[in-house]
Amino acid sequence: MKTIWIATGNPNKAEEFQNMFGDQVQVKSMKDLKEPIEIIENGTTFEANALIKARALYNVLHEPVISDDSGLEVDAMDGGPGVYSARFMGEDTSYTIKNQAIMDAVKGKTRSARYVCVIAYIDENGHESTYRATCEGQINDQAVGTNGFGYDPIFYYPPFQTTLANVSEAKKNTISHRAKALQMFMADKGAELL
């Protein structure tokens, strides 16, 4: 079985990638490294941060790696929290508090928002590629659902007529920003990986 390294320490992201890849590959994350590596995501775009993570892991393994940088862009917040989605209001602040702050910020304003995901890939020869995808939606006026993670309880997806936290992981993975970016990546590089 082929192993694919994902430049993340987030177990939710690693599990989501594993579910999207299926049984054809084994996903390993930075939690599987013998020695931890520290990555400072100081890019100002999703592409820059995805490449920072991929390069850091590639420089340790010298094997093909993928990473993603993703976040929530809220139009009423001038595209924020954007690349700072995980660090919005502090990394240790609960998403219950973050979600409430975003719902408060859009009151009486446009609720349009999108999830953005950029997947970066570095092959065994060090060649780099990026793939960007979005999932368009709205900020809900209350948190709904217990599935997913992060901002999913407040991200209303009109075709489902509910939030992404209120549908199964399998259903979310048919339309999510990460699933779309992964499909683009697999269409381009899948043959050389699998």
Q: DSSP letters of 112-154?
A: EEEEEEEEEEE-TT--EEEEEEEEEEEE-SS---SSS-TTGGG
What count of residues does the chain have?
194
126 is in an annotated binding site: no
Give the model confidence (pLDDT) of 22-75 as tens digits.
888 888 999 999 888 989 889 999 999 999 999 999 999 998 899 999 999 999
Binning pLDDT at 50, 70 and 90, where does residue 19 land?
confident
Residue 48 and residue 52: Cα distance in Å, rounded? 6
Domain boundaries, the chain: 2-193
List the end-to-end C-alpha distance of the chain, in Å, as a whole number.
9
150 is in an annotated binding site: yes
Give me the catalytic one of 23, 69, 104, 188: 69
With contact defined as beta carbons under 8 Å apart, do 138 and 162 qualify?
Answer: no
Give the model confidence (pLDDT) of 99-119 as tens digits.
999 999 999 999 999 999 999
- Specify the fold of 2-193: Maf protein (3.90.950)
With contact defined as beta carbons under 8 Å apart, do 118 and 181 qualify?
Answer: yes
Residue 101 and residue 58: Cα distance in Å, rounded? 36
In 3-state terms, what secondary structure has residue 73? strand
148 is in an annotated binding site: no
Write out the H or E segment, with its range, that includes residue 10.
none
Q: Per 3-state DSSP, what percentage of the chain is helix, strand, and coil (rounded to 5)?
A: 40, 25, 30
46 is in an annotated binding site: no
Tell me: pLDDT of 82 over 90.
yes
Q: Give just the sign of the alpha carbon dihedral 47, 182, 100, 103.
A: positive
Binning pLDDT at 50, 70 and 90, where does residue 147 land?
very high
With contact defined as beta carbons under 8 Å apart, do 100 and 94 qualify?
Answer: no
Residue 1 and residue 28: Cα distance in Å, rounded? 12
Examine the residue annotation and report whether 69 is marked as an active-site residue of this protein.
yes
With contact defined as beta carbons under 8 Å apart, do 59 and 30 qualify?
Answer: no
Residue 62 and residue 94: Cα distance in Å, rounded? 35
